[in-house]
Each structure stands twice: as structure tokens, then as C-alpha cells.
Structure 1
Amino acid sequence: MSTAPLRIALLFLLAAVPPVAQARPIAPDLAGSSYDSADDGAGNVGRDFALPYIQCVPYARQVSGIQLYGDAHTWWDQAAGRYARGTRPKAGAVMAFRPYGAMQLGHVAAVSRVIDSRTVLLRHANWSPIDGRRGQPEDNVRAVDVSPANDWSEVRVWYAPLGGLGTTHWPVEGFIYNRKPLPNERLTVLASAEAPKAAYTSRIGPDFLKGIVPETTRTPTRRPLAARDNGKPRIEEREDRTLAVSPSLARDPIGRIIASRVR
């Protein structure tokens, strides 16, 4: 049997099979495990946004050089003993926000410039939606201290959709500096706190009556009028009369002295 008809049949079968679909590359999920905070920094939580989606934590770590990981609200405690911390803004420091409202995971932002005692510029990500998309970086945006004591415990932050500062007073833990804490920094913090009041210590020692022999109570005797000076009792008679009126003073020589001054 000729092989030509068989070849023709095979060609027809191959032509009937649809071509294999080409594999399409899958875009990497920039909001996945390499980005360790699910907080969007502006009161919204989630990862269902257009790519690329940059979280606040890896961006702050990149621009500040502070090597801390985990959700933003853990940075302040993580920094203890590893990085210096304080309440004054400095260029390169990270401002650590506390969780507040729907911003359950906190937020971190790097200080790029200090303008004055109440104003800084920040570099951070995933705060303002830009071009309708969250997870975007922002550089050199304004943050203003609105705390009553000017201790940077509350700030207002630039919000792009408003074209100005947002109205929320965001609570701040403080600033993390990219250096090791000094040996005396912990002592400085403790010294600034109110010192406990020392217990009162009496200056009178336990032996202040040592060597003093208490007098015994004597029976008062009335001297005749002739023995009195100009009709007034002698000093001896006045002492006897005092002992008779208050026998307890005989056992308290200090009390006798006080009583003689106040009569």
C-alpha cells in the first residue's frame, strides 16, 4: 500500500488541530510578600489597586537606610536599643505614625528637610492617590506639627487630592534616627522625667536624750508668806506647782522647757 494517502491524512489531521496558545508573562505583584505592610497610609487598607503598588515600609527603608521590617506600627518599638529615637525632626530620620482610625497598621515617612520648628518635608509612599491610583511615592511633601506643645506628637500631612494639608491630626510616636543610640541617651530620657520625692528623714537622732535623767515628781510644799518675795511665789515654788498640775511634764524635760516658754 502506498504511503502517500497516509501522509495526506496526517496533514489534514494536523491542520485541524488549533495552534498552541503562547504563554503570557505575568506581571510581578509588587504589593506581594516583598512589601511587608498592607497599610496604604491614608486610612485605607488593601492591595487591590493598580500596579505598581509601593508600600510605605519598603520605601521608607530604602530612602532612609534604616533597616527595620514588619508593619509600620512596629517600627518604633523595634528601634529601641538599635536606633536612636527622639521627638525632634532631623533630615534622614523616619517619622513613625501611630495607628489611627482605619489606618490600623500605622505609617512611616522619611524626613527629607526641616523647614522650621513646625514644618518638615517628607518622602513617603502609599499616602495620596495620584492619577487615581494609590501605592504611589511622594517626595518633599509638607507635614506640619499641630501639637499644643510643639513636640511633634500630632501632624497634618499634604494630601494630593486636596492640593494642601489634610485636615486629620495624625498621632506620631516620634522620630527614628539612622544611628546607634548613645550610651547615655536612655539615662537622659529618665533624667528628664519627674524625679520621685525622697522620703522625709528626721534630723533628730535616736540618742538625742542620751545623758538626760528625768526628774521625779516632788510633793508641792507651800512656803510661808514671809518666804515669798514681795508676795510672789519663789521660783522653786512655781516649779513645784507646775509638776503638781502636770505630772507628765516631769517625765518629759523637753516638754517642761516648751511649757515654760508658752505660759
Structure 2
Amino acid sequence: MRRAGCVLLCLGLLAAPLRAERVGPAPGTGECVPFARAISGVRLYGDAWSWWDKAEGVYARGARPEVGAVLVFRAAGAMRLGHVAVVSRVIDPRIVMVTHANWSRIGGQRGQIERDVTMTDVSDRGDWSRVKVWYDQNDGLGGSTYPTYGFIYGRAAGGARVQLAHASPELTGTDPDIIGSVIDTIR
């Protein structure tokens, strides 16, 4: 059994459904970028892949998952604009749950929000540079791996907290399920 499967089994999560909660259409365009910006408070614009460079010197970046951090996918293959997803839970250093928009085709339609989607780090060095993501149509982790840059954190590059646009108690960490709380407000 692969490491991720063993970890999930040891945590007792294989008995629980790993299916992401389907929240519905994303507000606005149904794209990942405006959705990630709205729920993370990270005020970056442009194609998803461009967020990594745009965050340099503005937001702290790294290879360690944290709740509320935005994982930036590189442009690759059919994903020519990249992708961004917000960490909603850290299960262990190589398994997280993310909330994102416009990933799985649900009911034949893109632009849906999925909450608490399983994502695993499959990189050789454990640095989150390559991931597998839950895909609704497969009812499990997808067969593809995706290259990523890393995580953008909601704090200044120098360590001070960045004033998040529309910051709420949920986004500042006082609620144990910050992403869920934010999504509940936009339903």
C-alpha cells in the first residue's frame, strides 16, 4: 500500500467517505481564481499560474501546507491557466483537504465549488511540487499528477500579517473551520 493510503487507513479515514462536499456553482464566473481570492483574502489577480510570481515580496510563500494557504498549480497540459486551491484542513504533512472551484465536472458541469477535497503530495522530496487531487467523476484520487509551485500564505513576505480584504473572524483563524464558515456565508 502506498504511503498516503497507509496514512489514511491508520487515521481511520478510509472508512469515512472521502468524497468532497459539493457546494454548488461558484459565485460569479465559476472560476478558481476569483473564488480562491474571495475565501482566502489573498489579493492577487491574473491567471492562476501567475499568482506564484506575483506573490513574491508581497506574501510569504513556502512548501508547507497551512489552513487558509493557497496552493498554486503550474500551467501544464490541458490546465494551461494553472489552478489555485485553498487549504481547508491539514491531515498530515503530505495530505490536505482543499476547497476550490472549477475542478471536477459535477453533473456534467464545470464551475462547481467542492469543499474538503482530498489532495496528496506525491513529490519525491515531500515538497508539494507534484500532487494528486480527488476527482469527482473517478470517485477517488485522479490518475494524473499535477505540478505546483507551492503555497501562498495570508501574511506579508517579511512575516507580518497582511490586512486581508474583507477579513472576517473566519479568515483570521478564530474559527476551526474557516473555509467552511466562509462558504456558508456565500451559499
TM over 0.5: yes
Determine if the alignment matches structure 1 residue 111 to structure 2 residue 87.
Answer: yes
Shift of 1:131: 1.2
Q: Displacement of 1:181 after TM fit?
A: 1.3
CA distance in 1 between partners of 2:154 and 2:102 (Å) = 22
Given that residues 60 and 109 in structure 1 are in contact (C-alpha distance below 8 angstroms), is that contact kept between their aligned partners in structure 2?
A: yes
What is the CA distance between 1:52 and its match in structure 2? 7.0
RCO higher in structure (CA 8 A, sep ≥6)? 2
Partner Cα distance (1:69, 1:84) in 2: 16
What do residues 217-240 of structure 1 show as CA deviations (whole Å, max 9, x unaligned)?
A: xxxxxxxxxxxxxxxxxxxxxxxx
1:165 aligns with 2:141: yes
- Code of the aligned partner of 1:55: E
More helix by share: 1
Q: Secondary structure at the match of 1:69?
A: coil
Confirm or deny that 1:86 pairs with 2:62: yes
Alignment-derived partner of residue 58 in structure 1: 34
4+ residue runs over 2 A deviation: none
Distance 1:52 1:161 in 2: 24
Give 1:53 deviation, angstroms. Answer: 4.6
Question: Which protein has the bigger strand share?
Answer: 2
**Which segments of 5 or more consecutive residues in structure 2 lack a partner in the other structure?**
1-26, 160-187
**Within 5 A, what are the aligned runs for 1:183-198?**
none
Query: Contact (CA 8 Å) 1:98, 1:172: kept in 2 or not?
Result: yes
Gap runs ≥5 in structure 1: 1-50, 184-263
For 2:72 and 2:37, locate their aligned partners in 1 and report how far apart those are by CA, in whole Å. 12
SS in structure 2 of the partner of residue 178 of structure 1? strand
Give aligned-pair identity as a percent: 56
SS state at 1:74 partner: helix
Q: Which has the larger radius of gyration?
A: 1
How many residue pairs get aligned? The number is 133
Q: Deviations over 1:213-262 (max 9, x none)?
A: xxxxxxxxxxxxxxxxxxxxxxxxxxxxxxxxxxxxxxxxxxxxxxxxxx
What's the TM-score, normalizing by structure 2?
A: 0.69
Residue 48 of structure 2, aligned match among 69, 72, 92? 72
Corresponding letter in the other structure for 1:106: G
Letter of the 1:159 counterpart: Y
Change (3 A) 1:114 1:70: same
